Amino acid sequence: MRIMTLSLSLLLVTTSIASTGFPQTKESGAKKSITEWGTICEGFQLAVQTERQIFNPGEPVWLNVYLRNTSNNSASAFNSVPWMDYIIDIRNERGDKVSLTEEAKVLEQKQKDDRPIGFREMRLLPGQMFSDRLLLNKLYTINARGIYSVLVKRKIPKRYKKGWTEVTANVVKVTIGS
């Protein structure tokens, strides 16, 4: 999957839960409790959720992504631009991969032409979470009626070896139309 940067503030809101030193933002509406998490990997666990499952065609589909330190020690992850930090796989009811929007293709090309974005280390204490909020249908063509499966992964550093691995979230279903 191609990874892209986004500089449009309307596309994402970065939030911090607990005191990670990152700016906190207020989210509108009541926040649902997180009931499903992906598999623990290298002391991290990832979860995704939407505010609801059914959306009208063209309505914004926000995806909340949570990264939690499940270990007994502080752990590091690295942040850049949220759309670069995640690998997002969206599939329709037939299992076909959803394509990028025209806007996303332009941003993807712009990223190839620009210099790389720097990363910053984020230390999470045991039990601490960090979250991102991503506008899915701004970059993926999920405006047609149907049911879509959203799978999100994030690269994290291996704790005791060199290199990277991926932590995978729970799969969330999004229905466009009724």
pLDDT, tens only, 115-151: 555 678 889 999 999 999 999 988 899 988 999 999 9
**CATH classification of the domain holding 172:** 2.60.40
- What is the C-alpha R_g of the chain? 16
Residue 1 belongs to some domain of the structure: no
User: Does residue 151 lie in a domain region?
Assistant: no
- SS3 (DSSP) at 166: strand
What's the whole-model pTM score?
A: 0.76
In this model, does residue 21 exceed pLDDT 60? no
Number of domains observed in the structure of the chain: 1
Q: Give the tens place of pLDDT for each residue, 23-76.
A: 233 333 335 688 899 999 999 999 999 999 999 998 999 999 999 999 999 998
How far apart (Å, rounded) are the C-alpha atoms in residues 108 and 103?
9
Structure confidence at residue 33 (pLDDT): 84
Query: Quick one: tokens of 54?
Result: 């059914």
| 123 part of a folded domain | yes
pLDDT at 79: 82
CA distance linking residue 49 with residue 38, whole number of Å? 12
Q: Alpha carbon of 50 to those of 122, 123, 125, 173, 174: distances in Å?
A: 24, 26, 25, 9, 8
The confidence score (pLDDT) of residue 111 equals 64
Q: Which domain holds residue 102?
A: 9-24+34-146+160-176
